[in-house]
């Protein structure tokens, strides 16, 4: 077994919990403000039907706090970026996909956390420039050594799980918007590559992460 289970070391979750509370409070405040200005002159209603949105999330912050991010995988907080796209399936409902990456350090070596996500995005407000949303869906997550700073054998841990997000889109025009998002990833690493050796892990490793990002996007009609 190349990966040793850690059962007696726990990470405190007070800091992530505070981050979630503060972010949700900001979303609620912005929502109230958006409701008060729901009829801005010239603003196009927020129906997503027949629209496509693309955006870039940068900077993106990620805080690992799964119980198994200790010992030989004592990973630090990281920064990175993300790319996203969504298609309007119905009023206020979108199918979205995201590709996300953050860079971290483990024992002075550079590592990457890469995610591929697909899910459903629900937009809670009508014709307001402030548009809070919720989203959830499937995520595949990799923790791997960064090849640009690789020393020793290559290592990759892979897991599958759920990524749940809450956030706010603020439309400056009917096409361009600023997006703010906080997300919680529920993932257990169950598969590993160590050099050229591939194996299923006897014990899955807890890879939960909290993340936050800000970005800019563009919306266009597609039909």
Q: Tell me, yes or no, whether 98 lies in a domain.
A: yes
Distances from the Cα of 208 to the Cα of 12, 38, 56, 113, 185, angstroms = 13, 37, 23, 11, 5
Taking a C-beta distance cutoff of 8 angstroms, is the pair 115, 84 a contact?
Answer: no
Q: State the CATH number of the domain containing residue 163.
A: 2.40.160.20
Q: Tell me, yes or no, whether 172 lies in a domain.
A: yes
Higher pLDDT, 12 or 206: 206
Q: Tell me, yes or no, whether 20 lies in a domain.
A: yes
Higher pLDDT, 71 or 78: 78
Degrees to nearest 5, angle at CA 155 with 154 and 159: 150
Q: What is the mean pLDDT of residues 194-218?
A: 95
Q: Rounded to an integer, what distance in angstroms lies between the CA atom of residue 36 and that of residue 28?
A: 13
Domain that holds residue 111: 16-38+47-221
Tell me the per-residue pLDDT of 31-55, one tens digit each, with 9 for 90 and over: 554 444 444 555 665 677 889 999 9
Q: What is the mean pLDDT of residues 4-19?
A: 44
Taking a C-beta distance cutoff of 8 angstroms, is the pair 65, 16 a contact?
Answer: yes
Average confidence score pLDDT of the chain: 84
Calculate what percentage of the chain has a pLDDT beyond 90. 61
So what's the pLDDT on residue 13? Answer: 41
Distances from the Cα of 76 to the Cα of 2, 88, 107, 115, 133, angstroms = 21, 37, 9, 17, 29
Number of compact structural domains in the chain: 1
Burial 67-82 (b: 16+ CB within 10 A, else e): bbbbeebebeebebbb
Say if residue 9's pLDDT is above 50: no
Fill in the DSSP letter of residue 107.
Answer: T
Tell me the per-residue pLDDT of 120-163, one tens digit each, with 9 for 90 and over: 999 987 678 889 999 999 999 999 998 777 667 899 999 999 99
Say if residue 80's pLDDT is above 70: yes
Fill in the DSSP letter of residue 196.
Answer: T
So what's the pLDDT on residue 222? Answer: 81
């Amino acid at each position: 077994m190349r990966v040793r289970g850690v059962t007696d070391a726990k990470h405190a979750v007070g800091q992530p919990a505070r981050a979630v509370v503060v972010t949700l409070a900001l979303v609620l405040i912005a929502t109230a403000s958006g409701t008060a200005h729901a009829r801005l002159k010239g603003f196009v209603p927020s129906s997503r039907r027949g629209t496509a949105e693309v955006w870039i999330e940068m900077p993106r912050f990620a805080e690992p706090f799964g119980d198994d991010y200790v010992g030989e995988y004592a990973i630090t907080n990281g920064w990175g970026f993300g790319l996203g796209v969504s298609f309007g399936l119905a009023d206020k409902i979108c199918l979205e996909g995201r590709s996300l990456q953050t860079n971290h350090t483990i024992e002075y070596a550079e590592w990457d956390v890469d995610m591929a996500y697909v899910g459903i995005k629900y937009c809670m407000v009508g014709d307001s420039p402030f548009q809070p949303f919720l989203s959830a869906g499937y995520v595949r997550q990799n923790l791997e050594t960064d090849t640009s700073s690789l020393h020793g054998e290559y290592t990759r841990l892979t897991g599958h799980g759920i990524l749940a997000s809450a956030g706010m889109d603020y439309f400056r025009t009917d096409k361009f918007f600023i997006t703010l998002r906080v997300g919680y990833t529920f993932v257990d690493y169950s598969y590993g590559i160590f050099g050229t050796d591939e194996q299923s892990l006897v014990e899955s490793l807890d890879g939960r992460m909290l993340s936050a990002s800000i970005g800019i996007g563009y919306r266009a009609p597609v039909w």
